[in-house]
Amino acid sequence: MTLSPPGFASNPQDNPERQDILLCLSHLRWDFVYQRPQHLLSRAARQFDVIFFEEPWLEEGEPRLELRQDPSGVTIARPHMPESLNEMERMGLQRGFLDRLLAERGGGRLIQWFYTPMALPFAGHLKPDLCIYDCMDELSLFKGAPPALRENEAELFRRADLVFTGGRSLYESKRRQHPDVHCFPSSVDVPHFAKARGTVDEPADQKDIPHPRLGFFGVVDERMDIDLLRGLAEARPDYHLCIIGPVVKIDEAHLPRLPNIHYLGGKSYAELPAYVAGWDIALLPFARNDSTKFISPTKTPEYLAGGRPVISTPITDVVRPYGELRLVAIEEDAAGFAAAADRILAEGDRSRWLGHVDEYLATMSWDRTWDGMHSLMQAALESKALDALDAAATQSVLADDAMEETHV
């Protein structure tokens, strides 16, 4: 089985003997959509040797572990294995890949960072110095969730030293399940999306779409209210809807096909500001179902950083705080979205609203989020080290007492 390709440095850091390893176990792919894991782990790579271990890529051929390094310094590890393997065989291969990879890396302390509890069957045997569960979604409520997910999550809560949540709703749900849960809502790279407020070249596939344009970027899946999308397009045939993102877990044939709905496909993170710059309004047309009950959409502050008015369905983590602060319009259905769009397009000067937006966004950054997480991690590592010293000292005293009793 191939582990490291020729010429790939097992540890890209300057100090392999002392570099702590942060091993991230993820159900998401690094190259899929640039979101919370990428923002946080690219920053973590400044302090740790970060390995991002993806779900297996199923294909015929010899099982292998593909390794490549992102410009941020994160190592992306992608297992390749035949689809014909059963679950036990897949878990065994992944466990073997992990063991060999960690043995090659060397380094200091090991930190496990879980995005999915489903990694426990092949990574639960490791003995990390710190175990973290960054819970960014309620995965058990997503379409096609594995039956064992809840049981594995309960076990992960027992093992985790720290639990982070991607939003307030998740925090309120998870804090009853672990003694050390911390809320770190979705943040934003303001300078990146603020480019949409300036003059940018219009993307070729969007420049000929008429205005007004109402835009969305993100994964198009069971969380999107496609009936609302259809209703909005039908109610305002002169408004054009630009939908950016990959279609996942739903049949594309079920998507509404109308002359004023434009599906532009997936775009890179770097391209997004140029598309947002060409919109008049940004949309969060989320369905209200189990899969959206606890979501905290990263795109909310990203849209606002781009200077675009936003209309959203009443998703809890959008209503609080964005709706309550009147930074985002909250509407229930297609008729409400259409009326809100009419109002927004009829508005004149938005400078006062934009001032409130910028004032709120000034409190948010991925750097600040990572710094807060890193401080908690350092404190937890120091606390565990002191506990270990205390335990060792206690054992030493007990051993000495036993020796004295023996001699007596």
User: Is there a single domain that holds both residue 235 and residue 315?
Assistant: yes
User: Is there a single domain that holds both residue 209 and residue 174?
Assistant: no
User: Is there a single domain that holds both residue 168 and residue 225?
Assistant: no
Q: Is residue 6 part of a domain?
A: no
CA distance 52 to 24: 5
Per-residue pLDDT reduced to its tens digit, 21-61: 999 999 999 999 899 999 999 999 999 999 999 999 999 99
Q: Is residue 12 part of a domain?
A: no
Reported for 76-79, long-range contacts at CB under 8 A and 24+ positions apart, including other chains, are 76/30, 76/31, 76/52, 77/51, 77/52, 77/53, 77/101, 78/29, 78/54, 79/53, 79/54, 79/55
pLDDT (0 to 100) of residue 213: 98
CA distance 324 to 330: 9
CA distance 40 to 17: 24
CA distance 65 to 15: 24
- Residue 346: which domain range? 190-361
User: Is there a single domain that holds both residue 57 and residue 138?
Assistant: yes
User: Is there a single domain that holds both residue 174 and residue 200?
Assistant: no
Q: Is residue 73 part of a domain?
A: yes
pLDDT (0 to 100) of residue 403: 63
**Residue from 211, 200, 331, 219 nearest 279 by CA:** 211
Q: Residue 83: which CATH number?
A: 3.40.50.2000
DSSP summary character for residue 192: H
CA distance 189 to 166: 16
Q: Is residue 4 part of a domain?
A: no
What's the number of domains the chain is made of?
2
User: Is there a single domain that holds both residue 166 and residue 52?
Assistant: yes
pLDDT (0 to 100) of residue 146: 87
Under 8 Å between Cβ of 98 and 126: yes
Burial (CB count <10 Å: 0-12, 13-18, 19+), residue 135? buried
pLDDT (0 to 100) of residue 10: 41
pLDDT (0 to 100) of residue 344: 97
Instruction: DSSP for 27-93, please give it.
Output: SS-TTT---HHHHHHHHHTTTSEEEEEPPPEE-SSS-EEEEEE-TTSPEEEEEEE-TTS-HHHHHHH
pLDDT (0 to 100) of residue 401: 59
User: Is there a single domain that holds both residue 200 and residue 344?
Assistant: yes
pLDDT (0 to 100) of residue 133: 97
Q: Which residue type is seen at 308?
A: R
Tokens of 262: 């434009």
Q: Is residue 210 part of a domain?
A: yes
**Residue from 239, 225, 338 nearest 285 by CA:** 225
pLDDT (0 to 100) of residue 301: 97
pLDDT (0 to 100) of residue 393: 63
User: Is there a single domain that holds both residue 97 and residue 209?
Assistant: no
CA distance 308 to 197: 8
Q: In this structure, are strands 64-69 and 75-81 parallel, antiparallel, or unpaired?
A: antiparallel
Q: Is residue 291 part of a domain?
A: yes
> Which of these three, 126, 150, 183, is where a domain ends?
183
> Which of these three, 162, 183, 204, is where a domain ends?
183
User: Is there a single domain that holds both residue 177 and residue 202?
Assistant: no
User: Is there a single domain that holds both residue 245 and residue 299?
Assistant: yes
> Which of these three, 166, 183, 200, is where a domain ends?
183
Q: Is residue 59 part of a domain?
A: yes
Supply the pTM of this predicted model.
0.88
User: Is there a single domain that holds both residue 111 and residue 56?
Assistant: yes
Q: Is residue 377 part of a domain?
A: no
| Ranges of the chain whose pLDDT falls below 50 | 1-16
User: Is there a single domain that holds both residue 74 and residue 143?
Assistant: yes
